[in-house]
C-alpha cells in the first residue's frame, strides 16, 4: 500500500476539507458579491431619492397648475359676467400670481426626515451628557427677552433656584456661576423654526394661550410637517397647555430640546412673554407624546415676587 505525502503548498481546511487556495478564491468571490450588492443598494437608494424629489416637485407643480387654472376661469368669468367683474378679476390675478410663484419657487432639494433626525440625535446626546456631567436638574425653562431670536433654554442646577434676572446678558454666557442662578444656558433648536414660522404668518402672533396654541400646532403639522397631528389642550387659569403629538418625524420627543417640544416652548415664551417650563411624557391613550408647557400667570408672578 502506498502513502501520499501532503504538499506543503496545498494545506487543507479542517472544517471544509478544501485546499487553502480554493478557500481564498471563495473568500474573494464572497467579497466581490458583497461589493456588488452594496453597489446595487446604493444605486437603489439614489433612485428612490430621485423619485422622492420628483414626486415632491410634481406636487408643487400640480398646485401651481391648479392655481393658474382657477385664475383663468375667474378671468373668463369676469368677461362673461360684468356685474362681478371686479371681484372675478381680482381672484384671477391672485390665482395666476400664486401659480407663477408656486411654480418658480419650488424647492430644488429635499432633505429626508431621517437625515435631520440623525443630526439632531447626535446633538441631543452631547447636550444631555453635558447636563449630566454638570449635575444639573431635569428642569428645562425657556426664557424670553421679547425677541424670538433671544429665547434661551435655561437648565438650572436646582429646581427651586432663582431665574436669571438679566435676560439680556444671557447671550454668549453658556454657564451661569451665580450661586442662586447657577445653570446652563443654550440656544434652543426651536428658535430658527419659530422665526420661519412667524415670517409665514398671515396675521400677528397671538398673545393669548388658546389662539397661540392653535397657531403653533398648525405650524408643526401644516408648515413644517414635523408631526402627523398636534392637538392642544389649553388651561389658561392654571397656566398650562398640553399638546398631544402623533407620528413625530424626528423620533422620540422626550429627548433633550427636541425640535417639536422646543418650537412649542419658544413659541409660548415669545407670545406670552413669560418663562415657560417644558415637560414631555409618552402617552398611551390619546397620542404618542404629550408636550406640556407651563407658565406663571400675572397674579402668581406678583405673589412670588412679594415673597
- 237 and 300: one domain? yes
Residue 177 Cα to chain centre, angstroms: 31
For the chain, the distance separating the N- and C-terminal CA atoms, rounded to the nearest angstrom, is 108
User: Coil, helix or strand for 246?
Assistant: strand
- 198 and 59: one domain? no
- 282 and 168: one domain? yes
- 87 and 183: one domain? no
- 73 and 124: one domain? no
Buried b or exposed e, range 104-128, using 16+ CB within 10 angstroms: eeeeeeeeeeeeebeebeeebeebe
- 201 and 257: one domain? yes
- 200 and 153: one domain? yes
Asked if residue 235 belongs to a domain, the reply is: yes
Asked if residue 99 belongs to a domain, the reply is: yes
Asked if residue 14 belongs to a domain, the reply is: no
How confident is the model at residue 295, as a pLDDT? 95
Single residue among 104, 128, 144 that ends a domain in this structure: 104
Predicted model pTM: 0.64
Q: How many angstroms separate the most distant Cα atoms in the chain? A: 118
- 226 and 173: one domain? yes
Measured CA to CA in angstroms, residue 45 lies from 24, 36, 57, 290 at distances of 32, 14, 18, 34
Q: Domains in the chain: how many in total?
A: 2
pLDDT in tens, the chain (307 residues): 444 444 544 444 444 455 555 555 666 777 777 777 777 777 766 665 566 556 555 665 677 677 777 778 778 877 887 777 787 778 777 777 676 666 655 555 545 556 677 778 888 898 899 889 888 899 999 998 766 567 889 999 888 777 876 666 566 667 776 777 788 888 899 999 999 899 888 889 999 999 999 999 999 999 888 999 999 999 999 999 999 999 998 889 999 999 999 999 999 999 999 999 999 999 877 789 999 999 988 655 545 444 4
C-alpha cell at 277: 417650563
Asked if residue 219 belongs to a domain, the reply is: yes
- 78 and 165: one domain? no
Asked if residue 244 belongs to a domain, the reply is: yes
- 98 and 214: one domain? no
Single residue among 104, 127, 149 that ends a domain in this structure: 104
How confident is the model at residue 15, as a pLDDT? 46
Rg (C-alpha) for the chain, rounded Å, is: 30
Residues composing the chain:
307
DSSP label at 198? H
Measured CA to CA in angstroms, residue 49 lies from 108, 153, 229, 300 at distances of 13, 35, 25, 53
- 75 and 174: one domain? no
Structural domain of residue 92, as residue ranges? 36-104
Measured CA to CA in angstroms, residue 10 lies from 3, 6, 26, 29, 30 at distances of 16, 7, 15, 20, 21
In angstroms, the CA 20 to CA 229 distance is 61
How confident is the model at residue 240, as a pLDDT? 96
Q: Strands (DSSP E) along the chain, which ranges?
A: 140-143, 152-156, 175-176, 183-186, 229-235, 240-246, 276-282, 289-294
How confident is the model at residue 274, as a pLDDT? 92
How confident is the model at residue 13, as a pLDDT? 47
Q: Which residue has the cell 433656584?
A: 161
CATH (domain of 195):
3.30.1380
Single residue among 51, 69, 104 that ends a domain in this structure: 104
- 57 and 119: one domain? no
How confident is the model at residue 148, as a pLDDT? 53
Amino acid at each position: 500500500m502506498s502513502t501520499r505525502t501532503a504538499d506543503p503548498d496545498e494545506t487543507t481546511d479542517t472544517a471544509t476539507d478544501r485546499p487553502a487556495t480554493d478557500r481564498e478564491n471563495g473568500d474573494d468571490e464572497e467579497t466581490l458579491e458583497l461589493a456588488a450588492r452594496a453597489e446595487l443598494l446604493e444605486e437603489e437608494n439614489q433612485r428612490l431619492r430621485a423619485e422622492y424629489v420628483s414626486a415632491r416637485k410634481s406636487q408643487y407643480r400640480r398646485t401651481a397648475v391648479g392655481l393658474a387654472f382657477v385664475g383663468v376661469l375667474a378671468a373668463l368669468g369676469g368677461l362673461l359676467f360684468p356685474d362681478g367683474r371686479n371681484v372675478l378679476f381680482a381672484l384671477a390675478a391672485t390665482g395666476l400670481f400664486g401659480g407663477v410663484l408656486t411654480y418658480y419657487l419650488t424647492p430644488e432639494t429635499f432633505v429626508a426626515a431621517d437625515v435631520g433626525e440623525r443630526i439632531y440625535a447626535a446633538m441631543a446626546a452631547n447636550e444631555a451628557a453635558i447636563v449630566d456631567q454638570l449635575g444639573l436638574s431635569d428642569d428645562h425653562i425657556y426664557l424670553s427677552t421679547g425677541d424670538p431670536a433671544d429665547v434661551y433654554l435655561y437648565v438650572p442646577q436646582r429646581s427651586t433656584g432663582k431665574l436669571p434676572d438679566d435676560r439680556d446678558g444671557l447671550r454668549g454666557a453658556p454657564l451661569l456661576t451665580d450661586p442662586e442662578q447657577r445653570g446652563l444656558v443654550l440656544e434652543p433648536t426651536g428658535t430658527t423654526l419659530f422665526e420661519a414660522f412667524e415670517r409665514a404668518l398671515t396675521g400677528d402672533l397671538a398673545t393669548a394661550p388658546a389662539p397661540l396654541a392653535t397657531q403653533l400646532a398648525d405650524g408643526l403639522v401644516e408648515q413644517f410637517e414635523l408631526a402627523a397631528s398636534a392637538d392642544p389642550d389649553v388651561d389658561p387659569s392654571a397656566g398650562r397647555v398640553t399638546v398631544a403629538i402623533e407620528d413625530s418625524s424626528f423620533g422620540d420627543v422626550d429627548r433633550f430640546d427636541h425640535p417639536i417640544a422646543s418650537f412649542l416652548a419658544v413659541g409660548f415664551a415669545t407670545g406670552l412673554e413669560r418663562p415657560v417650563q417644558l415637560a414631555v411624557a409618552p402617552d398611551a391613550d390619546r397620542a404618542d407624546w404629550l408636550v406640556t408647557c407651563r407658565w406663571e400667570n400675572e397674579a402668581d408672578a406678583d405673589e412670588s415676587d412679594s415673597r
